[in-house]
Amino acid sequence: MRVMVTGGAGFIGSHIADKLIEDGFEVCVVDNLFSGRRQNINDKAGFIEMDVCSPNLSSVFRKEKPDYVVHQAAQINVRKSIDDPVFDASVNILGSLNLLECCRKSDVKKIVYASSGGAIYGEPQYLPADEKHPINPLCPYGASKHAVEHYLHMYCVNYGLDYTALRYANVYGPRQDPYGEAGVVAIFTKKLLSGKTPTIFGDGKQTRDFIYVGNVADANAKALKKKTKEKAFNIGAGVESSVNEVTSKLKKLLNSPVEPVHGPEVKGEVRRIFLDVSLAKKELGWTPKTGLSMGLKKTVEYFKKNE
């Protein structure tokens, strides 16, 4: 079976491609290399440099003839989405629509879509947030991510395109960009390794559900193979951890004396969030096997070796 992974040279997408190849799938990576890296691409995967917004994407589908698509390509920065919501929508909504049209015309069997459990629910009315929690995003990124879920539903009803949307929590791990504005674990690890001072936005008591990237890759592989009653699943650790707590763990792992400084809070970011992942456990047969302590250890080891 052939799988196209959009954004497959990126942080999460490359891990998914690795997992699918390990499971015996033929994989084609489509990535514009805006934030992805060639060195992330598995040697056994095909690669086409292409933006999902490109009108030429249809020619890639005609050539590659994928049976399945795993859609990871996106504008992922919350702060950038607030600064430029039109760009965010052009990539996350229009780019996804371009991809869905290609899937429809190429008779793709199923698409697995990277949604956001950390951004679409907004400030939670209750915790942990499950899939039935009201959708009230505080930022354009969350709005654009959830909008595509509606399009997926319509393409399923009108064109028979099967899909699963995975609502990721805060994903971290090897290959995450330490120079971007998204990804506190990678950014802080790189700064602490370099003896530089990391900046915590706000008081650091804000909480997130930190999920190791290997767990996310496993969820995508299971979603690709399984026929499920539900179509949207939270993918997280199901545990609430503060930014201060994660920073403390990183300092200990790196034996770093550097103390972080605090900056202003970021507009559009929620105060507390963690996810109820019981539905994914029940229907996908998925559990997050790598916990926070082990995940941070693996991440630190990667950055020590590669960055």
User: Which among 177, 195, 175, 293 is positioned nearest to 239, based on CA atoms?
Assistant: 293
- Report the percent of the chain where pLDDT is more than 90: 94
Contact (Cβ atoms closer than 8 angstroms) between residue 204 and residue 251: no
Backbone angles phi, psi at 167, to 5 degrees: -90, 95
The domain segmentation of the chain, as residue ranges, is: 2-172+212-236
Separation of alpha carbons 167 and 223, rounded Å: 12
pLDDT of 176-216, one tens digit each? 999 876 689 999 999 999 999 999 999 999 999 999 999 99
Predicted local distance difference test score (pLDDT) of residue 181: 63
Which residue among 121, 141, 155, 163 is the active-site one? 141
- Is residue 141 part of the annotated active site? The answer reads yes
pLDDT classification of 96: cutoffs 50, 70, 90 = very high
CATH, domain 2-172+212-236, list 3.40.50.720, 3.50.50.60, 3.40.630.30, 3.30.2020.30:
3.40.50.720
| Six-digit token string for 189 | 């690890």
